Amino acid sequence: MGVLIDIIVGARPNFIKVAAIVKELDARLSEDFGISYRLIHTSQHYDKKMSGIFFDELNIPSPNINLNVGNIESSKQMATIIARYSKVLATQKPDMVIVCGDVNSTIACALATKKTDPKITLVHVEAGLRCGDCQMPEEINRILTDSISDYFFTTSRTASENLINEGVSPSRIFFVGNTMIDTLYNNERKFKKPSFWDEYGLESKKYFALTLHRQSNISNAETLGALLDAISEAAEHTPVIFPVHPHTAKMLDSFGIRPSSRIIMTDPMGYLEFNYLVKNARAVVTDSGGISEEATVMNVPCMTLRNNTERPETCTVGTNMLLGNSPKYIFSAFEKLKAGEWQLGKCPELWDGKAAERIVDKICDKLLRPQSEKHTILKLKPKEFGEVKYNTIFLN
Ligand code: UDP
């Protein structure tokens, strides 16, 4: 009997983290190794720019099941994901569920899994990250997901230590590296010039890239307006390219904020164009965790508009610096950059492009295979579940 894994995706950063895992699993499926998977998309992000483009560019197969929740109020969204994924679990129970990151889909599907059957193995990829700020919705999602997971794949020793300090047995924690960085290495050769590059006369290292979508920065008109004014002023004559997250676009609209003309607003970008933009930027200004990791690996100065980070290695080893959201620190950071004093980035430990390989190795060797049957699984009939062709089923 083969083993079935459900892999959950829902929001933009999930697609990028899971792309490398799916690639690794697909490579091994062709070796008849007795595991198959269903890709479950909650559609927390659902349109072409926040979802579809990542499937196309990163060669992620179409989801087997789409929970189709769409853009509804956060608590309703969580409740709908729990209800719809529970229905899927009741129809066919997987042996293991893999959730990643810290979005609503992560905790909602984790909860549905453990409420349906506590014996289903729940695995959290990018476990143990803590910023210590429970005002942040993502921190709540991380803590809750880790509190009910069985196995933990971490991106840093600090994350593993956080889990140990919370009482998780070290035998359940695996420091494997960073699948988001696997995806970066897997696609670096395909990065492409954004379509607007010539229109705005962009030149390598002569512009800044900006992203903003954390609640702490966008939910208050004064904070958001002051941030954009400070960035625009500090950038002086250098253009700032700002691919605007849909939540941020909504808030800008409702507050009636129009950034200065130095800030060039664009739609959210595809992965290949966005990372070309970051790689060639003079610096990135952001409140995204994932982007601070990518900037670190690409050795691009990164100014993070937050007071804390759950990814401390991006600051200690990498190019990241925390500025909070006070204009004063934004100005001094731009001065530091101009003076050529920015810290060069080194690659954090095990961010070597092999995290997904380590994860799938562990899943095969340790999690799915009882020790006594260590070798028998290789003799299984080819892919019990793998031969079933799922078309995407949309739930309502
Ligand atoms: N990203 C992208 N296009 C954009 C902005 C971000 O492809 O316009 C990618 C980015 O390279 C990174 C991921 O989206 O891989 C980060 O997602 P986000 O900032 O939404 O989430 P966070 O990391 O803050 O959870």
Query: What are 60-89's pLDDT values in tens digits?
Result: 999 999 999 998 999 999 999 999 999 999
What is the average pLDDT value for the chain, to the nearest integer?
Answer: 92
Ligand 1 centroid to 303 CA: how many Å? 15
Question: What confidence score (pLDDT) does residue 370 get?
Answer: 57
Question: What confidence score (pLDDT) does residue 34 get?
Answer: 82
Ligand 1 centroid to 80 CA: how many Å? 24
Atom of ligand 1 nearest to the CA of 103: 25
pLDDT per position as a tens digit, 81-130: 999 999 999 999 999 999 999 999 999 999 999 999 999 999 999 999 99
- Burial grade of 308 (CB within 10 A; 0-12, 13-18, 19 or more): middle
Among 108-117, 130-139, 377-386, whose mean pLDDT is lowest? 377-386
Question: What confidence score (pLDDT) does residue 69 get?
Answer: 96
**Atom 14 in ligand 1: which residue has the minimum CA distance?**
13
**Atom 21 in ligand 1: which residue has the minimum CA distance?**
13
Ligand 1 centroid to 15 CA: how many Å? 10
Atom of ligand 1 nearest to the CA of 289: 23
Ligand 1 centroid to 245 CA: how many Å? 9
Find out whether the beta carbon of 269 lies less than 6 Å from any atom of ligand 1.
yes
Residue 162 pLDDT grade (very low, low, confident, very high; cuts 50, 70, 90) = very high
Q: Choose the residue to mutate in 240, 291, 298, 311 for probing ligand 1, maximizing ligand atoms within 8 Å of C-beta.
A: 291
Question: What confidence score (pLDDT) does residue 369 get?
Answer: 61
Sort residue 353 into left (φ over 0), alpha (ψ -120 to 50) or beta: left
Q: Which positions are annotated as active-site residues?
A: 213
Average pLDDT over residues 271-294: 98
pLDDT per position as a tens digit, 215-273: 999 999 999 999 999 999 999 999 999 999 999 999 999 999 999 999 999 999 999 99
**Atom 10 in ligand 1: which residue has the minimum CA distance?**
291
Ligand 1 centroid to 383 CA: how many Å? 34
Q: Choose the residue to mutate in 138, 274, 310 for probing ligand 1, maximizing ligand atoms within 8 Å of C-beta.
A: 274
Among 32-46, 74-88, 265-279, 326-340, whose mean pLDDT is lowest? 32-46
Find the Cα–Cα–Cα–Cα dihedral 292, 298, 302, 304, rounded to 10°.
Answer: 0
User: Which residues on neighbouring strands pair with residue 303, listed in sequence order?
Assistant: 285, 321
Find out whether the beta carbon of 16 lies less than 6 Å from any atom of ligand 1.
yes
Ligand 1 centroid to 288 CA: how many Å? 7
Residue bearing the bigger pLDDT, 377 or 247: 247
Ligand 1 centroid to 291 CA: how many Å? 6
Average pLDDT over residues 163-179: 97
**Atom 2 in ligand 1: which residue has the minimum CA distance?**
271
**Atom 9 in ligand 1: which residue has the minimum CA distance?**
271
Average pLDDT over residues 50-62: 98
pTM score over 0.85: yes
Find the Cα–Cα–Cα–Cα dihedral 354, 28, 271, 15, rounded to 10°.
Answer: -100
Amino acid code (one letter) for 14: N
Percent of the chain with pLDDT over 70: 91
Find out whether the beta carbon of 289 lies less than 6 Å from any atom of ligand 1.
yes
Average pLDDT over residues 314-332: 96
**Atom 4 in ligand 1: which residue has the minimum CA distance?**
269
Judged against a pLDDT cut of 60, whether residue 275 lies above it is answered with yes
Pick the CATH number of 3-177+354-394 from 3.40.1190.20, 3.30.365.10, 1.10.3720.10, 3.40.50.2000: 3.40.50.2000
Find out whether the beta carbon of 290 lies less than 6 Å from any atom of ligand 1.
yes
SS3 194: coil
For the chain, domain boundaries: 3-177+354-394, 188-338
Rounded to an integer, what distance in angstroms lies between the CA atom of residue 35 and that of residue 32? Answer: 8
CA distances from 307 to 32, 75, 321, 323 (A): 48, 26, 10, 7
Question: What confidence score (pLDDT) does residue 76 get?
Answer: 96
> DSSP E strands: which ranges in 183-337?
208-211, 240-243, 263-266, 283-286, 302-304, 320-322
The dihedral through the CA atoms of 288, 293, 297, 302 has a sign that is positive
Find out whether the beta carbon of 275 lies less than 6 Å from any atom of ligand 1.
yes
Question: What confidence score (pLDDT) does residue 392 get?
Answer: 62
Alpha helices in 189-239 (DSSP H): 215-218, 221-234
Rounded to an integer, what distance in angstroms lies between the CA atom of residue 316 and that of residue 341? Answer: 15
Sheet holding 263-266, edge to edge: 263-266, 240-243, 208-211, 283-286, 302-304, 320-322
pLDDT per position as a tens digit, 186-216: 999 999 999 999 999 999 999 999 999 999 9
Atom of ligand 1 nearest to the CA of 290: 23
- Of 55, 27, 28, 53, nearest to 39 by C-alpha is 55
B/e letters for 228-256, b = 16+ CB within 10 Å, e = fewer, are bbbbbebbeeebbbbbbbeebeebbeeee
Pick the CATH number of 188-338 from 3.40.50.2000, 3.40.50.2300, 1.20.1340.10, 3.40.50.300: 3.40.50.2000
Find out whether the beta carbon of 194 lies less than 6 Å from any atom of ligand 1.
no
Judged against a pLDDT cut of 60, whether residue 383 lies above it is answered with no
Contacts of 255 (CB under 8 A, 6+ apart): 221, 224, 225
Amino acid code (one letter) for 273: E
Find out whether the beta carbon of 271 lies less than 6 Å from any atom of ligand 1.
yes
Ligand 1 centroid to 280 CA: how many Å? 16
